[in-house]
Amino acid sequence: MKVTYTYSDKIFNVFLYTFVILMGAVTLYPFLNVLAISFNQATDSIRGGIYLWPRKFTLINYEEIFNYRNLVTGFYITSLRTIIGTVAGILSSAMVAYVISCREFVARKLVSTLFILTMYFSGGLIPEFMLVRQLGLMNNFLVYILPGLISGWNVFVLRAYMDTLPESLKESAKLDGANDLTIFFRVILPLCKPVIATVCLFIAVGQWNSWFDTFLYCSSNSALTTLQYEMLRILRDVTSATSSNMYALSRNNVLRVTPDSIRMAITVMTTIPIVIVYPFLQRYFVKGLTLGAVKS
């Protein structure tokens, strides 16, 4: 069937496409500008005028970063905590969400209220630090996983989606002799792929970008350093001019790197992995957030 457009429809489409293109350009430009500066010669970048591509291409900014001795360890630990933290976090949150989504669970409202309170109130930094120390998690890899294992927000996003699933699915499974664990792993989880992908993205981004817990609990153990914390240290060394490696002079007695050039290179390095992962989860992202949003 052929679709006919009126004159007003065509005008609307022109404005719509123009708006989308402009919004895309505005969104994409900052990242392209950061990428261009990161590949441009540091002293030349000071002059300004770099927009979408480098004026004097160089890899020195990235060479200086990769010369930092703890960077490989930081990348390994960050990748490990992201993978383990995401898998453990989604399983734990999904289990809790399944329990409070069951109508026969008598403490459903009480548990939900307790999780709501955690979204608005916390014990504070000092009590949290004391608790971690008393649990023996100082300079321990588990400090990256256990404290943030379950998030109230993630639980309610998962529960809202599970509430949209027909109750007859659980009843049919129980009639076939399935227990709650079987129902959860073989019935509920396969149907929750969109929201699971969404929450996985939330958790993975949080784990990948985290550095403050390293500063608090593992700063004295270089074997447990993270990529973001090492990037922060590199930027601090450049800014304060205390690192001879980062402010090494070239033959012409000109600084090889500047704080801005290193900052841009760091931004690219920390952003690229998430940018690569996001397209694989994009098709689930909107669906996972919107489905079930009418229920609470």
Domain boundaries along the sequence of the chain: 59-296
* List of long-range contacts for 30-33, beta carbons under 8 Å, 24+ apart: 31/271
Which residues does residue 57 pair with via DSSP β-bridges, in sequence order?
40
CA–CA gap between residue 248 and residue 226 (Å, rounded): 25
Q: Give, for all 296 residues of the chain, the pLDDT tens digit.
A: 566 667 787 888 889 999 999 998 888 888 889 999 989 888 788 888 888 888 888 888 888 888 777 888 888 999 999 999 999 999 999 999 999 988 888 888 899 999 989 888 888 888 899 999 999 999 999 999 999 899 899 999 899 888 888 888 888 888 888 888 899 998 899 888 888 988 988 899 899 989 899 999 998 888 999 988 988 887 777 776 544 544 444 444 446 777 788 888 888 888 888 788 777 766 666 555 555 444 44
Confidence (pTM): 0.77
Q: How far is CA 76 from CA 61, 87, 223, in A?
A: 21, 17, 10
DSSP symbols for 251-263:
TTS-BS--HHHHH
Which class is 59-296 in CATH?
mainly alpha
CA–CA gap between residue 131 and residue 198 (Å, rounded): 30
